[in-house]
């Protein structure tokens, strides 16, 4: 066996030795293959060299998928084989939906939606992946780093498409525009198949972006409703008063809800006034317990009200995405001596617990 060095020949003029990536040799056919680039950017190309004839061939420039960034040649027992490396998907942005109940993480290219490539042939080369259904709810910790997950307590994630990961945002969330959203390493890949069916993969996506508000921030609109009253704007003196602001819109889910009483006719006794102000002060504090958020439904027990009195309430809501933008509305309620009506409103189930806690705060 002659192990001496010999020059195979000069590289073709289109092949710059500074951009060679990898090489592999088939000793049986006496061929060699080189992968290279013509410039720093662009897809790799393939140079095939024939040792017996000292001749070479340039493979077609479209041999690789346009998104291939790196091509490696390995020498498994079955013979030379190309391992393609697609360009990893890049984060474009993480943007809140207009309602504030979703954070949409967008990539610049299709991903495997959280599927991880694996070796199905036993040769150490990844060649398959298991598809994850679109829309399936999954823990966000599978895709986002620990800091982002902690800022989104109780959130579940799903893939709306191969380029969009959606995190459901709850009122307990602390993530806000300007905060960093970072991917969990080793979880999001790109893949494709060559015309011959060979699986090609990217390295895992990396990086972070700053959370953004919606492209079009909605304008808040405050609404107070009194469903179930005896008649328009009237409740009986035996019923709890429920002021329902849950139909308000444009606050971004976590915008502030501030309730107040602007007047009462006739004037209230001092004890009743203090009790009512206590209820309103409680409602104007963002809840930190399970459920979180601001009280969108205000419940005032009948004991805190005086019959034959008209109360004038107001509700001010603020945009979570732009605190300088707010809206205010008012509603008048007459408390009559008539009986037998019960609660004026129950409101959505999600806010009934807040209403009950508010009522409990009024108990001496």
Q: Shortest CA distance to 136 belongs to which of 157, 116, 115, 111? A: 157
State pTM to two decimals.
0.70
Is the model's pLDDT at 351 over the cut of 60?
no
Note the pLDDT of residue 292: 60
pLDDT tens column, 165-191: 999 999 999 999 999 999 999 999 998
* Nearby residues of 57 by Cβ (< 8 Å), 6 or more positions away: 47, 48, 50
Output b/e per residue, 231-244; b: 16+ Cβ within 10 A.
eeebbbbbbbbbbb
Average pLDDT of every residue of the chain = 81
Percent of the chain at pLDDT > 70 equals: 78
252 SS3 class: coil
CB-facing half-sphere around the CA of 271: CA atoms within 13 A: 4
Confidence grade of residue 301 (pLDDT, cut at 50, 70, 90): confident
Residue indicated by tokens 């102000």: 277
- The dihedral sign for the CA sequence 276, 280, 281, 283: positive
3-state secondary structure of 109: coil
- 151-163: per-residue pLDDT in tens? 999 899 999 999 9
Sort residue 101 into left (φ over 0), alpha (ψ -120 to 50) or beta: alpha
User: Tokens 């020059």 label which residue?
Assistant: 7
For residue range 115-158, list pLDDT tens digits in order: 988 888 776 677 788 877 778 899 999 999 999 999 999 899 99
- Token pair for residue 132? 């994850």
- Cβ–Cβ < 8 Å for 172, 291: yes
State yes or no: pLDDT of 76 exceeds 70.
no
Strands 138-139 vs 102-107: parallel, antiparallel or unpaired: unpaired
């Amino acid at each position: 066996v002659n192990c001496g060095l010999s020059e195979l020949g000069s590289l073709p003029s289109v092949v710059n030795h500074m951009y060679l990536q990898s090489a592999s040799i088939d000793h049986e056919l006496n061929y060699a293959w080189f992968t290279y680039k013509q410039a720093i950017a662009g897809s790799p190309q393939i140079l095939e060299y024939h040792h017996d004839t000292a001749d070479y061939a340039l493979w077609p420039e479209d041999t690789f998928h346009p998104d291939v960034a790196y091509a490696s040649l390995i020498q498994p027992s079955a013979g030379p084989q190309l391992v393609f490396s697609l360009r990893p998907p890049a984060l474009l942005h993480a943007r809140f939906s207009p309602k504030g109940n979703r954070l949409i993480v967008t990539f610049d290219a299709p991903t495997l939606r959280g599927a991880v490539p694996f070796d199905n042939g036993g040769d150490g080369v990844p060649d398959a992946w298991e598809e994850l259904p679109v829309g399936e709810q999954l823990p966000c910790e599978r895709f986002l780093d620990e800091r982002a997950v902690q800022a989104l307590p109780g959130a579940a994630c799903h893939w709306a498409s191969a380029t969009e990961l959606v995190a459901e945002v709850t009122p307990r969330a602390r993530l806000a525009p300007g905060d960093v959203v970072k991917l969990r390493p080793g979880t999001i890949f790109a893949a494709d198949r060559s015309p011959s069916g060979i699986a090609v993969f990217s390295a895992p996506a990396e990086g972070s972006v700053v959370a953004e508000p919606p492209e079009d921030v909605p304008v808040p609109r405050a609404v107070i409703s009194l469903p179930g009253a005896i008649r328009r704007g009237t409740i009986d003196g035996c019923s709890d008063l429920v002021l329902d602001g849950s139909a308000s819109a444009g606050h971004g889910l976590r915008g502030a809800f501030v309730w107040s009483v602007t007047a009462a006719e006739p004037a209230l006794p001092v004890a009743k006034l203090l009790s009512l102000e206590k209820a309103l002060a409680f409602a104007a504090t963002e809840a930190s317990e399970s459920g979180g958020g601001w009280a969108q439904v205000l419940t005032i027990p009948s004991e805190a009200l005086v019959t034959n009195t008209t109360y004038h309430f107001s509700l001010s809501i603020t945009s979570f995405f732009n605190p300088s933008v707010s809206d205010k509305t008012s509603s008048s309620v007459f408390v009559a001596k008539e009986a037998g009506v019960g609660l004026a409103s129950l409101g959505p189930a999600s806010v009934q617990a807040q209403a009950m806690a508010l009522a409990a705060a009024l108990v001496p």
